[in-house]
Amino acid sequence: MSPVPWEDPRAARTRAKLREALLHECATHPLEEVSVAALVRRAGVGRATFYVHYADLEALAVDACADVVRDAVDALHAWRGRPDPVRAPEALRVFFAGLAPHTALYRALLSPGGGGPLGRVLHRDLRARSLSERTLAGAADAPLVASAVAATFAGVLADWLHGLLDATADDIADQAWQLLVALHRSR
């Protein structure tokens, strides 16, 4: 849930407190063991206040992880000019390396293959950004490639987080990048 320009600053602060409380709780407990009671206690807000802002813990968790989605989309589009077809942009390497502190939470929200609530948000945002850029470039195949890029990246990221792909952060960044460059060249 991104802040909107007309949003009440108090509501934004409350959501920030809840997101921070969730990340602290998930540092020591799996998401499925975190309770609303523990979160509101840590955040210093009432239970009813929690439900004013979020339907459930999953909605809060996806909101708390929204930055990782924005970071992924930005990292994939950080290059300008002609991309190196082998080595990922530095922003993509930094993105993969920075996932470690909350890997368990990302796994809970991003299922293998790229599904799950965080996977849906990642796919939606990455597809929209890719579609916009390919359309601006005049590519006739923009919708097809945008869908393929979003699905490929979400799937590779999820499988790597779940340990289905054995690679370092730098290696997976390069491998994912090579796949995405190939998709862009295939049409």
Taking the alpha carbons at both ends of the chain, their separation in whole angstroms is 34
Per-residue tens of pLDDT for the chain, all 187 residues:
444 556 789 999 999 999 999 999 998 999 999 999 999 999 999 999 999 999 999 999 999 998 888 888 888 887 777 778 899 998 899 999 999 889 999 999 999 999 999 999 999 999 999 999 889 888 888 999 999 999 999 999 999 999 999 999 999 999 999 999 888 876 5
Contacts 24+ apart (CB under 8 A), 137-146: 139/187, 141/187, 144/187, 145/183, 145/184, 145/186, 145/187
pLDDT for residue 1: 46
Beta bridge partners of 115: 111
Query: Helix 142-161 to helix 169-185 angle, to the nearest 10 degrees?
Result: 160
The rounded distance, in Å, linking the Cα atoms of 142 and 132 is 8
User: What's the confidence (pLDDT) of residue 72?
Assistant: 86
